[in-house]
Structure 1
Amino acid sequence: MEAVAADSPPGRVEGALSCFSFNQDCTSLAIGTKAGYKLFSLSSVEQLDQVHGSNEIPDVYIVERLFSSSLVVVVSHTKPRQMNVYHFKKGTEICNYSYSSNILSIRLNRQRLLVCLEESIYIHNIKDMKLLKTILDIPANPTGLCALSINHSNSYVAYPGSLTTGEIVLYDGHSLKTVCTIAAHEGTLAAIAFNASGSKLASASEKGTVIRVFSVPDGQKLYEFRRGMKRYVTISSLVFSMDSQFLCASSNTETVHIFKLEHLNNRLSCFCRSQTTRNKPWSRSGLSLSRRPEEPSTWSGYVGKVFMAASNYLPAQVSDMMNQDRAFATGRLSFSGQRNICTLSTIQKLPRLLVASSDGHLYIYNLDPQDGGECVLIKTHR
């Protein structure tokens, strides 16, 4: 999943960890320190088992593991332009590549490996590490913000398309062509993330007050969540649950927000039922929610058409019904101001919220998927 360096690489960082990341299916945690890097299994709440550790490369500021495999990608402050790919069980280096400027972030799935520099993105075939495409002259991206869908059957790539607005470029990592651009926010982007299937893309701007979810590949807005209006925050992590039912956001504040992605047709049906005592049925008012033969066959296309019709025809409460002003659930942290990442995972058959922080702590919370509310902290690992 999303990786975070405790400061914008390759600058130095304070705290116990220089970087930390969850793998693509949230079963492993990777950390980088001045001494090297370590990989941990997330199969148990009570125990954090170390899978691998290495001190061969010091001052690590990027470490990414490919799912639960033995492939790990490492970048060090000592050589910030060089990417090293290892098979840690065999103890061998698979390859290394050097680039024209400092590496800011790396994303990978079972088909593609992305290397993000400030003004370019390199796309490799992960099978043989052959360079397939270089996306040049992208708007300056000093934080290396980019996302790669973990579903290798599509391998969508997302990255900022503007220096001044929250435009997202959606790129197809298989066909190596631009799919579309999405006008996601008025302000510049702070976070972007795909869901596991690559069918949805979430984004947040630098203000951090609004989080939006778009359908992929057509870029139509599906949801809008308001994290809060009292203050601007810096969103440091944005991640879907593996089943795409929830979206989690952490920031520089003491609260982690979890939003529930309710099905659009369920919400429309609930609203319809609530109006039956006051209004006539919609079937005679010019809006039908039943599918017609000529309507789109895809889920996103069908929902988009129905929802657009509803928002244009019905009162404001319908057009705003996909906007949530309150989170479904929250996790309270004992700190604020520290860089952190969050993820939603199933551990020992129960849904959990996990938060890793730059001071070297991993917090595990219970999440109630039915009623939400405040998540209960059940374990802290150091």
Structure 2
Amino acid sequence: MEPVLCGPQGPEDPEGPPVPETGFSCASFNQDTTSLALGTDSGFRLFSLTNVDTLDCIYRSTDTPDVGLVERLYSSSLVVVVSAQTPQKLHIYHFKKGTEICNYSYPRPVQAVRLNRQRLVVCLQESLFVHNIKDMKLLQTLMELPSNPRGLCALSSSGPCSYLAYPSCPSTGELQVYDASALSPVTVIPAHHSPLAALSFNASASRLASASRKGTVIRVFSIPQGQRLFEFRRGMKRCVDISCLSFSPDGHFLCTSSNTETVHIFRLEDLGPSREDEASSWGSYVGRMFSAASTYLPAPVSDMMSQDRAFATAQLPSVGCRNTCALTVIQKLPRLLVATRDGTLYIYTFDPAEGGRCHLSHTHKLLDELQDHTEVKVSETSESSGPGNSCPTYAATAALPPAPGLTAATLTGYSEDGGCREGEVIPEHELAAGPVRLDDESEFPPIKCRDGRDGVLVSLTFSETESFCKL
């Protein structure tokens, strides 16, 4: 999921109105949209997204000033932070223990960070670094890539392969799909005519959505084949700067936000035989007539007529603010979340059956939440850090006992060379005397599915939500 950057690293909208200083520089949802991370001028904050009525600040840090990037790994204790004061250095924290696990320095400023349970990918302007997230060993460096000042890239959050997508041409919308697990290229997709603006994988890593800087057309491709599956038109009157693409947990819907006041939601659904019989209205008849007529028209006109429109929309109260959006289920109901640059989290209700206009149900001022929770820190922080020891050494971090009630997983310690090859970056952390012990593996154990299979967390489809509520 694309985070919204509000500082100097993020692209600005030159035509948008000036936005007052808000005190935070970036916002990002974690992989399953259960928490929201904020980077501020004094540190970073983590908010829980399990309740629409209240926004609980579960952690706040003031040790890293001017945070420009912050990403959390699911609901684990691992948080990745990049400060605007030292943009070439990546910090990895275990926030429940209040300690820094390690840090890495890179030859140029870090533009973006993507992570899942297998890989951590660091994006520089002209290179990508692929790490093994278990021990932060550097596995591969992709050098001499086309200039990517926005740090545009996407990493699949789950599945057997860690697919990585990034621009492969600076002047067109061509993109490269790379297997970060096997460390090998997969396919090249000519997605758009103009340069790319946003990329996003669905939860199962079977589809990839893309948008160009023109901002009028969103396309969805099959992975790993690279075949175009869907094409949606966001609008025709104006070009916009699309800042975020995000799939719903079940992959049936795709939301997109930009520097305009409208958030669009598209439905990714093919009409099967039964659905075609049901779609016998006058509107569907006209649509089929247009589709048939489009085969006799020039290709550009035919493509425009075959593009689908938004299934649902949401209107933001403010215009011109960069934002990030996500579709999720909170308290058993489908929700659209939009975090904007002006320091607000908007929560909308979404009808997956009828679509239409999404209604604003809750508004949370993030800065007010920060002030109301100035005393919030997890108990492990104060117990582990102790007075006068705000940043323990890495060796001390590894020796800390696991949190109560959690079974620690023993992992191989960080090696001296970090797995680096000649000429690549060397980590700047201390060496641990013994193996590293992290609690995080027990924080997302395999979950038993309804059909008895063991696997990762299975999200209910929006259509199943109503049935789930009756259980």
Q: Equivalent of 1:381, from 364, 371, 376?
A: 364
Deviations along 1:104-137, one digit per CA (max 9) or x if unpaired, are 0000000000000000000000000000000111
Q: What is the CA–CA distance in structure 1 between the aligned matches of 2:195 and 2:89, rounded to whole Å?
A: 28
* Alignment-derived partner of residue 53 in structure 2: 46
Q: What is the CA–CA distance in structure 2 between the aligned matches of 1:63 and 1:78, rounded to whole Å?
A: 14
Code of the aligned partner of 2:328: S
Distance 1:159 1:322, change over 3 A: farther
Q: What is the CA–CA distance in structure 2 between the aligned matches of 1:63 and 1:160, rounded to whole Å?
A: 22
SS of residue paired to 1:182: strand
Deviation at 1:208?
0.3
Q: What is the CA–CA distance in structure 1 between the aligned matches of 2:352 and 2:280, rounded to whole Å?
A: 24
Q: What is the CA–CA distance in structure 2 between the aligned matches of 1:114 and 1:165, rounded to whole Å?
A: 23
* Alignment-derived partner of residue 230 in structure 2: 223
Deviation at 1:78?
1.4
Q: Show structure 1 runs of 5+ residues with no match.
A: 279-312
* Alignment-derived partner of residue 338 in structure 1: 321
Distance 1:225 1:86, change over 3 A: same
Deviation at 1:324?
4.0
Q: What is the CA–CA distance in structure 1 between the aligned matches of 2:205 and 2:271, rounded to whole Å?
A: 18
CA contact (8 A) 2:294 2:305 kept: no
- Larger RCO of the pair (alpha carbons < 8 Å, separation 6+): 2
Deviations along 1:161-188, one digit per CA (max 9) or x if unpaired, are 1110000100001111111100000000
- In the alignment, structure 1 residue 124 sits paired with structure 2 residue 107: no
CA contact (8 A) 1:10 1:77 kept: no
* Alignment-derived partner of residue 3 in structure 1: 3
Deviation at 1:264?
5.1
- In the alignment, structure 1 residue 365 sits paired with structure 2 residue 348: yes
CA contact (8 A) 1:222 1:322 kept: no
Q: What is the CA–CA distance in structure 1 between the aligned matches of 2:273 and 2:267, rounded to whole Å?
A: 13
* Alignment-derived partner of residue 380 in structure 2: none
Q: 1:205-354, aligned counterparts within 5 Å?
A: 205-263=212-270, 265=272, 269-270=276-277, 316=294, 323-354=306-337
Q: 1:132-211, aligned counterparts within 5 Å?
A: 132-211=139-218
Instruction: Tell me the TM-score normalized by structure 2.
Output: 0.70
Q: What is the CA–CA distance in structure 2 between the aligned matches of 1:355 and 1:62, rounded to whole Å?
A: 18
CA contact (8 A) 1:224 1:322 kept: no
Deviation at 1:344?
0.3
Code of the aligned partner of 1:167: E
Distance 1:314 1:272, change over 3 A: farther
Deviations along 1:136-160, one digit per CA (max 9) or x if unpaired, are 1110000000000001521000000
CA contact (8 A) 1:10 1:102 kept: no
CA contact (8 A) 1:167 1:182 kept: yes
* Alignment-derived partner of residue 422 in structure 2: none
Q: What is the CA–CA distance in structure 2 between the aligned matches of 1:317 and 1:346, rounded to whole Å?
A: 40
Q: Which has the larger radius of gyration?
A: 2
Code of the aligned partner of 1:66: L
How big is the alpha-carbon RMSD for the aligned residues of Structure 1 and Structure 2?
2.6
Q: What is the CA–CA distance in structure 2 between the aligned matches of 1:238 and 1:366, rounded to whole Å?
A: 18
Deviations along 1:232-266, one digit per CA (max 9) or x if unpaired, are 00001100001001000000000000000013545
Deviation at 1:271?
9.3
Identity in percent: 59
CA contact (8 A) 1:111 1:152 kept: no
Deviations along 1:23-59, one digit per CA (max 9) or x if unpaired, are 0001100000101100000000001011111000000
Deviations along 1:247-298, one digit per CA (max 9) or x if unpaired, are 0000000000000001354598459989xxx9xxxxxxxxxxxxxxxxxxxx
Instruction: Tell me the TM-score normalized by structure 1.
Output: 0.86
Q: What is the CA–CA distance in structure 2 between the aligned matches of 1:166 and 1:11, rounded to whole Å?
A: 18
* Alignment-derived partner of residue 288 in structure 2: none
SS of residue paired to 1:154: coil
Q: Show structure 2 runs of 5+ residues with no match.
A: 13-18, 286-290, 297-301, 366-471
Code of the aligned partner of 1:348: Q
Distance 1:320 1:241, change over 3 A: same
Code of the aligned partner of 1:335: S
Distance 1:331 1:131, change over 3 A: same
Code of the aligned partner of 2:350: L
Q: What is the CA–CA distance in structure 1 between the aligned matches of 2:204 and 2:246, rounded to whole Å?
A: 13
* Alignment-derived partner of residue 103 in structure 2: 96
